[in-house]
Structure 1
Amino acid sequence: MDPISIMAVANPMKEGSAIESGGGLTSIPHGRRRIALDLTALLPHETGVDRYMIQLVLYLGKVDQWNHYRIYVNWEDRNRFVGLLPENFRVIPLSRRSRAVRLLFQQVLLPILVGWWEADVVHSPSFIMPMVRGSQHHILTVHDMTSFTLPKCHILLRRSFPYRQVLLWSIRRAHLITVPSGSTQKDMYHWIPDLSRKRVRVIPGGIGEEFQVYPRQSIQNTLERLGISASYILYVGTIEPRKNLPLLVQSYKQLVKMGKTKEHLVLVGRLGWGYDAVLKQIESPELKHRVHLVGYVHQHDLPLVYAGATLFVYPSLQEGFGFPPLEAMACGVPTISSQTSSLIENLQGAAILVPPDDQESLTNAIDQLLNDRACRDRYRQEGFARAAAFRWEDTARRTLQCYQEVSGSYSPKTRDS
């Protein structure tokens, strides 16, 4: 442990002893910063954005026991971090999960609370920041720009003029913006050409340690409990237009007709919107009892579902980062994905990439991985190496550097791994 880290451990301060339950001013030693994170956008069924927010907070707790944090959540999430964070963190229930109520609290009550606490930094990690900026330094995380680049692949709210204007307004108002990929950064500059390059930081997400190779019996026990009995090709993600699932189902159907696969197709993820085309496809006689809509799978089981797959296919039209392919690769599963956006950036050389509008190429890629063991072994090994490069600790440390940068200070009391 270096001298700076020793200083941090030798000078502990309990957040609970400094902050009253109702909030307000605190007695914090000079040099320690007050950092607020708005996690009111958390959903009960984790998406990639939710995973980012949760893991960022958990790993900030691992790398920074010096600065003081307040994590503002919905009432329904008040127990989510119980026993998981150090004493310099306090979780504050702020609102209800209802969108209207949440936005009201986010835009009105949150600025009051962080101002009352005299926060140094406010991090809005899910697209939108409070309209009232106050005296705090604001960091905004924008996960993708698909409301602009693929508006037809979003629900009405996300493609509406008011939402898009609020997003642009948030980007312009934030002191620093973090994005998960160079692709998202490029899209942001395209839509806001006068945005200063000095205000945007590319900070990739991480892949959790739970995504790994598992013993066959552990996998089998989980699959039996979920009702998955056959070997399978896997997709994980919300069932919605942007994920381009009709292409995958059609390619799979073609392979079934040609007698080239015995694997079933397992689709894991909640039904989002615009999924009628997929439901209609899987009702065809050729696919009866061969395509399985499993629904949302809890994070405790998801790594084992990945690990049990023969191969993983993720034909998304566009991604800001794209967790599922990297998670599959970390579990030792050969992966096929789309030759587009951040997927090129993150997966190049470690997965087979095909154009997202080319069914023949996707069909051939699936056929190749199913029937060429050497090819599967190659991509399995390449995938392991690539996924290992994405660590949540790195995400947290680089985000902490942004907090330090934007507040005009360098607080070096971060714990070494």
Structure 2
Amino acid sequence: MQKILFVCDKNECTSFGRLTLNLVKAVSGKFDAHVLWLKTPKFFGEADKNATTSQDSNYESHEVWAKSLYTGYLSFRSPLKKLVKKIQPEIVFFIRPELGFLVPVVKGRAKTVMFVHDTFAETLYPNSTKFKLLNLFYIRPTVKADFFVYNSNWTRGQAADHFGIEMSSKPGAVIGCPIDSALFNKPETKPTFEEKKVFLRKYGIKNFDGMCLNVSLDEPRKNIETFFEMASLRPHVAFVRVGKFSDRLRAIVNEKKLYNVYHFSEFKAHELRDFYRHADLMVYPSLLEGFGLPPIEAIACGTPALCAATSAVKENLDGVCPLINPPTDAEAYARVIDRVLAGENVIDESNAKKLLEHCSMESFSKRVADFFNSISGATP
């Protein structure tokens, strides 16, 4: 059986870590799978340093430590080279372009595949010296990979524009992203209004007519300011956000006196599922997304989504749920919130079913298998 080595620098609770494990599942039975976890204290706790390397029946796990990805620029290279020499994989699969600096380490020793998943740092932070350097030294070498996979057609187009002919001329495929349907699914019975109120009271959220949920990072592209503006327009509705509550966001909430906004830094997976299920609406005004899993996870849990008509979100959800253009029009979002709280179903159930089938693990696995079959006889 052919060997494949996945390289990931994020833990299993992050989107990249989960994606890595989903890729392992997708190739199970077809490849002898290995995962190299590039571990740093930011994403792996101190306890991990003393723990025995985990062993999953689906793959063999390896690890190497560094203080950060930046110090790993030098210290990750030799361990990766030694591991490739030891296990001799046919394919080395990098989980994100920020690991592009490692592509030349294994170039010529195995077929190299890069998963391109999102927009690019300098387009989000054009004046940041940090991100200019990140792009120059870490991301630019990703074009040296032999093959590319993408999570959306939108990302593929962005990558072609950003990297040019050196990437766009090479073989690639859009494989998407799967959702965990074993976790994110509808409850046997839809929660009643009273059951939702009881659920929210456990988290200190009381005396509101409904709840809108947002799951996002604190980045300009996430358009959280518009989410807060919705809260200002509808003070009788609770607006719950899952994600880091930075000083910047805290200042906005305090300035606007948004007493109906609640923040939770993180949830365990089952807690997030329960919030999806008890929300009246998932609101996702993000300006730029390579894929956008949260609104799809919410729909899988039986909760409607309301999103911005932008990037891959529009690609995935056009015809499924209401999309707002321009994405900063808080009044337009608020009007849809009113319709949902009045009992209107704003989801096209037929299109939602097709979307969830497309995002199923079964469908994802087929696309992954088709891609690997397409490159099996190709010469890098």
TM bucket by the smaller chain?
A: 0.7 to 0.9
What residue number does 2:35 align with? 71
Cα shift at 1:193: 2.9
Question: 2 CA distance for matches of 1:294 and 1:49?
Answer: 21
- 1:16 maps to none
Name the CA distance, whole Å, in 1 between partners of 2:277 and 2:371.
35
Which one of the candidate residues 344, 362, 370 is aligned to 1:393? Answer: 362
What SS is found at the alignment partner of 1:69?
strand
Match of 1:174 among 121, 145, 164: 145
**Quick check: which has more Rg, 1 or 2?**
1
- Tell me, in whole angstroms, the C-alpha distance in 2 between the residues paired with 1:252 and 1:225: 21
| Structure 1 residue 186: Cα displacement | 0.6
1:400 and 1:361 map into 2 onto residues whose CA distance is 42
8 Å Cα contact 1:233/1:265 also seen in 2 = yes
- Counterpart contact for 1:45–1:296, Cα < 8 Å: no
Task: Write the distance in 2 (CA, Å) between the matches of 1:285 and 1:191.
Answer: 38
Aligned counterparts of 1:227 and 1:385: Cα–Cα separation in 2: 37
TM-score by length of 2: 0.83
Corresponding residue SS for 1:337: strand
Shift of 1:325: 0.9
Structure 1 residues 187-224: Cα deviation after superposition (integer angstroms, max 9, x where no partner): 11112331344422111001111111125499788755
Give the conservation status (yes or no) of the 8 Å contact 2:148–2:171.
yes
Change (3 A) 1:221 1:255: closer
Query: Are residue 140 (structure 1) and residue 114 (structure 2) matched?
Result: yes
Q: Which residue of 2 aligns with 1:54?
A: 21
Partner of 2:74: 104
- What is the distance in 2 between the residues matched to 1:301 and 1:144? 26
What does the per-residue CA deviation read over 1:124-177, in whole Å, with 9 as the maximum and x for residues that have no partner? Answer: 01212313224211000111123243235x9753x214424532321x211101
Q: State the secondary structure of the residue aligned to 1:35.
A: strand
2:185 aligns to what SS in structure 1? coil
Contact 1:266 1:291 in 2 (8 A): yes
Residue in structure 1 matching 2:92, options 103, 111, 122: 122
Note closer, same or farther for the CA distance 1:324–1:116 as it changes in structure 2 (3 Å cut): same
Whole-angstrom distance in 2 between the partners of 1:120 and 1:45: 28
For the 8 Å contact 1:249–1:278, the answer to whether it is kept is no
**Could you say which residue in structure 1 is the equivalent of 2:223?**
244
Judged with a 3 Å threshold, the aligned counterparts in structure 2 of structure 1 residues 181 and 306 are, in CA distance, closer, same or farther, namely same
Tell me the equivalent position of 1:23: none
Show the counterpart of 1:253: 232
Displacement of 1:300 in angstroms is 2.4
How many aligned positions are there? 357
Q: Contact 2:122/2:128 (CA < 8 Å) preserved in 1?
A: no
CA gap 1:173/1:309 in 2 versus in 1, 3 angstroms: same
- Once residues 244 and 149 of structure 1 are traced to their aligned partners in structure 2, the CA distance between those partners, rounded to angstroms, is 15
Unpaired segments ≥5 residues, structure 1: 1-31, 257-261, 410-417
Query: Secondary structure in 1 aligned to 2:290?
Result: coil
**Cα pair 1:34 1:68 within 8 Å, conserved:** yes
- Specify which structure has the bigger relative contact order, considering alpha-carbon pairs within 8 angstroms and separated by 6 or more residues: 1
One-letter amino acid matched to 1:151: Y
- Taking structure 1 as the reference length, the TM-score comes to 0.76
Quick one: which amino acid aligns to residue 208 of structure 1?
Answer: D
Q: Distance in 2 between matches of 1:97 and 1:55?
A: 27
In structure 2, what is the equivalent of residue 374 of structure 1?
344
The answer to whether the Cα contact below 8 Å between 1:233 and 1:312 also exists between their aligned partners in 2 is yes
Instruction: Give the structure 2 partner of residue 213 of structure 1.
Output: 186
Tell me, in whole angstroms, the C-alpha distance in 2 between the residues paired with 1:227 and 1:184: 39
| Structure 1 residue 381, shift from structure 2 partner | 6.6
Deviation string, structure 1 residues 97-135 (Cα, Å, up to 9, x no partner): 632454434333212211232221100012123132242
Identity among equivalent positions (%) equals: 24
